[in-house]
Each structure stands twice: as structure tokens, then as C-alpha cells.
Amino acid sequence: MTYRIALVKGDGIGPEIVSSAVKVLEAVGGRYGHDFQFTEYLAGGCAIDACGVPLPPETVAGCQQSDSVLLGAVGGPKWDTMPGHLRPEKALLGLRAALELYTNLRPARIFPALKGACALRPDIIDRGFDLMIVRELTGGIYFGERGRREGKYGEEAFDTEAYSVHEIERIARVAFESARKRRKNVVSIDKANVLESSRLWRETVHRVAKEYPDVTVSDMLVDNAAMQLIRDPSRFDVVVTSNMFGDILSDEASQITGSIGLLASASLGATKCGLYEPIHGSAPDIAGQNKANPIATVLSAAMMLRYSFDLSAEADAIEAAVTAVIDEGWRTADIATDATAEVLGCAEMTEKIIDKLLLAK
């Protein structure tokens, strides 16, 4: 089978970490008999330098014609003073819109061998956690009506949270489908004690839940969810929530895992073409020094195999290789401790993962 993958390496460490993921995909393709064809496109600061805009039309067209997109990261101090419409980050929003990506999936789990890097109490970490945040990405308050007006006490500003039944139904289905591939439990997070949009959210999620009798569903208020993520993250399997609540909770969930260099993400829409990227930025402080941890991007590539190409065995193989390398004690600088004998660079960590992948039965 042939899969066309658009590579948007971006800025800073983007080219290093995407190259690592490509090597891992080539290894997995060789082992399982798949042909991954890669085409590079510019976006972010490098596109501003080359073409004068952060998201050239060729990049949009190329990504739309691909089976999926693997992105590194965009941005850096060089472009920090550009006007708003010419900021590298505009490329991300533009790509999400062009590919009509309405779901963001962010897994957060603890690697037992990296417990030391986790900020939670040892008795909480010992229970382990492996959760998936399903965040609505194109609706809610970030896209609602906004403005400034004269109020009773002078100038005031407003933003509007609005959700349609259609938007809630489609994100709920992503959550239930995702739960079916995991531990079959969905927690829907809202603020239904205060917000009318949350009451519609809750009603709709429960109506969709009837289509998935094998999956358990419950509700949690967002303030409680923020606490429970720290008190007992092991209680969560799949979490589904709105754009703004998901933005905040997914950052909290990634923080409790201990390392930003390990966390992958997927943005999905109505078609199989998704956008896969690490959650971290372009890390300009370590760019071009072979210091970046490639694992978040490698795990993003594994998500691409699972969610866009339905290649679960191949995704499992990549995830198992990463876990085995970490269990054996191999570390890049960001996850190294005083006990680490040898700190690996980005290229060497990639080789270790590929070795494990090729050795595994």
C-alpha cells in the first residue's frame, strides 16, 4: 500500500525531529511492506523567508492532496516582531482551517521509567495514567462573536461561547469511537451548572452515547476536572470537551507527564487526512545542535498510522519500540537525570528506536 505524506518541517528543531520520524516510518514501512512517499512543504518562519507569507498556497494544496500531514513546529525569535497576519503561527491556524480539522487528540500517559520527571506525588504516579483528551477545535468561544462596546461603566469587551448540536455530535462521536479502541470510558467535561451552551453539550453527548452502549459515559464540571487531573489522573480514559476547556486541560495533562518532548497530538476532520505534530514548539534554544528529543514527533507519526491509515499493528510497534528504549534507560538531555550514563542526541535516539523496531518480533 502507498501512502502520500506531506512533511511540514517548519522552524527551529522542526527539521531534525521530522527527519527522525521519517526514518522511523521508513523502517516500519520496510518491515510491514508499506510505501510511504514524502513531499516537503514550507510553512512558518522558513516560508516567510522564502515566499513572504507563513502559509504559501502550494503548501495548502500539497497538504490537501496528501493522505496525511506530519508537522514539526513553527516560529522563533527571528519572526517575533512580524505583524499579526505574518506571524509563523498563522500557518497552523490556516492549515487547520484548510483541512477542516475539528478535533484535536492529545494522549497523555506516564512512562513508568520516567516517574522521576513527573510532578505528582509518588502514590498518585504509582497508579499510572494513560488518558486521551478529545478537544473540539473549530467552535466555541475562540470562534464566537466578539467585540468592544460601551457598557454601564464605560468600555467593555465580550466573547461568545456558542455550540451547535452538529458540532457537539461530531466531536462526541470521535470520543466514543476513540474510547472503543481504548478502555471504553468517556468523561464529558462542561460547565453545565452555569452555561447554557454546556447544557446543550451535555444533552447532546448523552444522546450520542446511546449509539455506543458498550462505552460508559459520565459528566464532570471543568473546575472539578482540573482538580481530578492532579488528584487521580488514573480515573480518566477518554475526556471530551470544548475548545477552550480542552485548551487548558490538555496543557495541564501534558504538564503532569513530566516532559514536553514526549507528547504527540493529532488534529482530525471529516476525511482521513489528519495533521500530526508534537505538542512542543520549535525550541530555538537547542535548534541545529542535535539535542532535541524526537520522541513526541515519532509518536505523532505512530498516531498517523493508527488514525489516518488504520495501521494499528504498525503504530503499536513504534510505541513499543519507544517504551523499550526508555525502559532500557536511554535518554535525551531533556529527560536525563544525574544517573544517566550517556545522554543521546536526536540522531542517536532515533537510531535506538529504529534498532528496537527492527529487532522486535
Report which of 248, 279, 250 is spatially closest to residue 262, judged by C-alpha positions.
279
Q: What is the DSSP string of 163-216?
A: --HHHHHHHHHHHHHHHHTTTSEEEEEE-TTT-HHHHHHHHHHHHHHTT-TTSE
3-state secondary structure of 142: helix
Known catalytic residue at 338: no
User: Minimum Å distance from CB 153 to ligand NAD?
Assistant: 35
User: Minimum Å distance from CB 98 to ligand NAD?
Assistant: 16
**Which stretches of the chain bind ligand NAD, using CB under 6 A?**
13, 73-76, 89, 92, 260-261, 277, 280-286, 292-293, 296, 334
User: Minimum Å distance from CB 210 to ligand NAD?
Assistant: 36
What residue number has its CB nearest to ligand NAD?
A: 281
Known catalytic residue at 355: no
User: Minimum Å distance from CB 47 to ligand NAD?
Assistant: 13
By beta-carbon proximity to ligand NAD, the closer residue of 244 and 336 is 336
- Which candidate in 223, 285, 310, 327 is catalytic? 223
Report which of 213, 274, 280, 253 is spatially closest to residue 17, judged by C-alpha positions.
280
- Which candidate in 219, 251, 316, 355 is catalytic? 251
By beta-carbon proximity to ligand NAD, the closer residue of 75 and 246 is 75
By beta-carbon proximity to ligand NAD, the closer residue of 74 and 317 is 74
Report which of 4, 127, 274 is spatially closest to residue 264, judged by C-alpha positions.
274
Known catalytic residue at 251: yes
By beta-carbon proximity to ligand NAD, the closer residue of 89 and 169 is 89
- Which candidate in 130, 247, 316, 355 is catalytic? 247
Known catalytic residue at 23: no
Q: CA-CA distance, 90 to 57, in Å (whole number)?
A: 13
Known catalytic residue at 214: no
* Dihedral of alpha carbons 338, 344, 349, 352, sign: negative
3-state secondary structure of 251: helix
**Which residues are catalytic, by number?**
142, 191, 223, 247, 251
